C-alpha cells in the first residue's frame, strides 16, 4: 500500500473508531481530556507504524490496545502513584484484551459510547462548546475541520474544546448514563446538539456557500449511532427520520454553480429515494414506540409530506398546517408560527399566511431573523403588492450573513 493510500486509510479508520476509542478510555481513566490525549497517542503510533507494517485487520482493537498500554506506562512513570491510579493500572493490566487486539475486539463499547455522548452534550457546557466537543470526540474531526465548517477561527474552536474539557473536569461530571429522572432532559440536550450540527450544514448561517453537506452527513451519522444506542427512544428515531428526509434533498437544493434552488422549484428526480425510504422507516419506528408524536417526530412528519409528494402541487398543505398546529402546542415558538404561516398560505391563500406574519412583526420576537421579512415578501408578491415586497426582500438581504442567500434575496427584490 502506498504511503498516500495508507494515510487516507488511517484517516478513515480514525473517523470511524475515535469516538469508540475515547469512550472506552474515558470510562477507564475517568477524564475526557486524558482519554483524548491517550487516543491521540495511539493515532501517532499508527501513523508511525502502519506505513511499514500495514493496517491491522482489526484497526480499532489495535488502537485501543496501544492507548491502554500508554495509560499504564504513564502511571508507572509517576514518582508517586496514588492508590486510585495504582488500582487502575492493575485493573488495566489484567483486563482481557489490554495486550491482545483480538480479545480487545470482543469488548462491548455501546455503553461507553452512550456515556460519551451524554458527556459531550452535558448541559453544564454552552451550546457552542457542546457542538465543538461532540464533533471532536464523537465525529473524529480535527479542530481545523470544525473551525472551517463553522467559519470560525481555529483558536476560537480550540479554546471552546479546551474550556469544555476543563469545565467537565471541574464540575466532576460522572462518566455515566443519566438516571431515569434525568434521562429525558439530558437526551433532549443531545438531540439538540445533533440537530444544531445538521442545520448549520443544511442552511449555513454565514459564508459563501448555501450548504455544508459534510456537516449534514456527520450529524446524520451521529443520529444513526444514537438510534442504535437508544433503540427504545421514539424522539431519537424522530430526529433521524427528520434528517433523512431533509438530507434527501441536498443534491437538488443548489445549481451546479452553487446557487440556491427553492423547494417548489427543485427537480424531485434528484431527491435521494434511499434516504426517503430510510426516513419513512425511522418515522414508523418512532410512531410505533410512542403514544403520540414528539416535536422531532412532528417535524419529520412535515418533512415526509414534502418528501413523498410526487410534485410540488401534490403536497398536502392542509395536513402540514395540522402538523404545525400540533407542534405549536408542544413547542410554541415564533419560528414554528412563521412556518405555520407559510403552510396556511399554501393551503388557504396568501392572506391567511400574511395575517399570522403581521402578528409576528408586531410581536418583535423575530426582528433580527431574515426569514420573517423574506416570507412576508413572498406573500406580498402573491398578493400583487410588489413595491412592499421589494422592501421586505431588501430588508431580509441585509439581515442574512450568508452570501448566496443575500444574492438570491436581492435578485428577488430586483424582480419586483
Give 356-389 as a 3 state SS string.
Answer: HHHHHHHHCCCCCCCHHHHHHHHHHHHCCCHHHH
Distance between CA 40 and CA 20 in Å, rounded?
A: 13
Grid cell of 370 as nine digits: 431574515
- Residue 250 sits at φ, ψ, to 5 deg, of -55, -40
HEC per residue, 25-63 = HHHHHCCHHHHHHHHHHHHHHHHHHHHHHCCCCCHHHHH
Distance between CA 374 and CA 413 in Å, rounded?
A: 10
pLDDT for the residue 110: 62
**DSSP designation for 254:** B
pLDDT for the residue 92: 57
Task: Count CB-CB contacts under 10 A for residue 34.
Answer: 17
> Whose grid coordinates read 426582500?
393
Grid cell of 399 as nine digits: 439581515
pLDDT for the residue 28: 84
Indicate the pairing of strand 206-207 with strand 401-402: parallel
Distance between CA 289 and CA 90 in Å, rounded?
A: 43
Half-sphere exposure of 143 (CA within 13 A, CB side): 13
Angle between helices 59-77 and 32-53 (to 10 degrees): 120
**pLDDT of the chain, 416 residues: tens digit per residue:** 566 777 888 888 888 888 889 888 888 888 888 888 998 898 888 888 988 888 888 888 899 889 888 887 766 655 444 555 555 555 655 554 444 444 443 344 467 888 898 999 999 999 999 999 998 888 788 898 888 777 789 999 999 999 999 999 999 888 888 887 888 888 999 999 999 899 888 887 767 677 788 889 989 999 999 999 899 999 999 999 999 999 999 999 999 888 889 999 999 999 999 999 999 999 999 999 988 899 999 999 999 999 999 999 999 999 999 999 999 999 999 999 999 999 999 999 999 999 999 999 999 999 999 999 999 999 999 999 999 999 999 999 999 988 889 999 999 999 99
**DSSP designation for 100:** -
Grid cell of 131 as nine digits: 457542538
Listed in sequence order, the residues at least 6 apart from 217 whose beta carbon sits closer than 8 Å to its beta carbon are: 201, 247
Distance between CA 217 and CA 219 in Å, rounded?
A: 5
Distance between CA 59 and CA 210 in Å, rounded?
A: 37
pLDDT for the residue 408: 93
Contact, 283 vs 301, CB < 8 A?
yes
H or E segment and range at residue 394: helix 386-399
Contact, 274 vs 322, CB < 8 A?
no
Contact, 78 vs 50, CB < 8 A?
no
Amino acid at each position: 500500500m502506498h504511503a498516500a493510500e495508507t494515510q487516507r486509510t488511517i484517516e478513515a479508520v480514525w473517523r470511524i473508531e475515535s469516538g469508540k476509542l475515547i469512550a472506552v478510555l474515558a470510562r477507564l481513566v475517568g477524564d475526557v481530556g486524558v482519554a483524548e490525549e491517550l487516543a491521540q497517542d495511539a493515532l501517532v503510533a499508527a501513523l508511525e507504524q502502519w506505513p511499514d507494517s500495514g493496517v491491522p485487520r482489526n484497526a480499532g482493537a489495535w488502537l485501543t490496545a496501544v492507548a491502554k498500554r500508554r495509560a499504564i506506562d504513564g502511571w508507572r512513570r509517576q514518582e508517586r502513584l496514588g492508590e486510585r491510579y495504582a488500582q487502575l493500572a492493575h485493573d488495566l493490566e489484567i483486563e482481557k484484551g489490554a495486550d491482545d487486539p483480538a480479545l480487545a475486539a470482543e469488548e462491548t463499547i455501546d455503553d461507553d459510547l452512550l456515556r460519551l455522548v451524554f458527556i459531550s452534550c452535558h448541559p453544564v457546557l454552552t451550546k457552542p462548546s457542546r457542538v465543538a466537543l461532540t464533533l471532536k470526540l464523537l465525529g473524529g474531526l480535527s479542530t481545523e475541520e470544525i473551525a472551517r465548517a463553522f467559519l470560525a477561527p481555529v483558536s476560537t474552536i480550540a479554546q471552546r474544546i479546551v474550556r469544555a474539557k476543563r469545565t467537565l473536569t471541574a464540575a466532576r461530571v460522572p462518566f455515566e448514563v443519566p438516571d431515569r429522572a434525568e434521562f429525558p432532559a439530558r437526551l433532549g440536550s443531545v438531540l439538540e446538539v445533533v440537530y444544531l450540527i445538521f442545520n448549520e450544514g443544511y442552511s449555513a448561517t454565514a459564508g459563501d456557500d448555501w450548504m455544508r453537506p459534510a456537516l449534514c452527513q456527520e450529524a446524520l451519522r451521529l443520529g444513526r449511532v444514537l438510534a442504535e444506542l437508544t433503540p427504545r427512544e421514539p424522539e431519537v428515531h424522530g430526529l433521524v427520520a427528520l434528517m433523512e428526509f431533509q438530507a434527501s434533498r441536498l443534491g437538488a437544493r443548489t445549481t451546479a454553480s452553487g446557487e440556491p434552488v427553492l423547494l417548489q422549484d427543485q427537480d424531485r428526480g434528484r431527491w435521494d429515494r434511499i434516504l426517503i425510504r430510510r426516513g419513512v422507516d425511522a418515522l414508523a419506528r418512532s410512531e410505533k414506540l410512542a403514544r403520540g408524536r414528539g416535536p422531532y417526530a412532528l417535524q419529520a412528519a412535515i418533512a415526509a409530506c414534502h418528501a413523498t409528494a410526487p410534485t410540488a402541487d401534490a403536497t398536502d398543505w392542509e395536513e402540514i398546517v395540522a402538523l404545525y398546529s400540533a407542534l405549536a402546542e408542544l413547542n410554541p415558538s415564533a419560528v414554528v408560527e412563521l412556518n405555520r404561516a407559510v403552510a396556511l398560505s399554501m393551503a388557504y391563500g396568501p392572506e391567511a399566511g400574511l395575517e399570522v406574519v403581521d402578528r409576528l412583526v408586531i410581536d418583535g420576537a423575530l426582528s433580527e431573523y431574515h426569514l420573517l421579512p423574506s416570507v412576508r415578501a413572498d406573500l406580498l408578491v402573491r398578493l400583487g403588492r410588489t413595491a412592499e415586497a421589494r422592501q421586505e426582500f431588501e430588508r431580509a438581504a441585509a439581515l442574512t450573513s450568508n452570501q448566496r442567500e443575500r444574492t438570491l434575496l436581492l435578485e428577488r427584490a430586483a424582480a419586483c
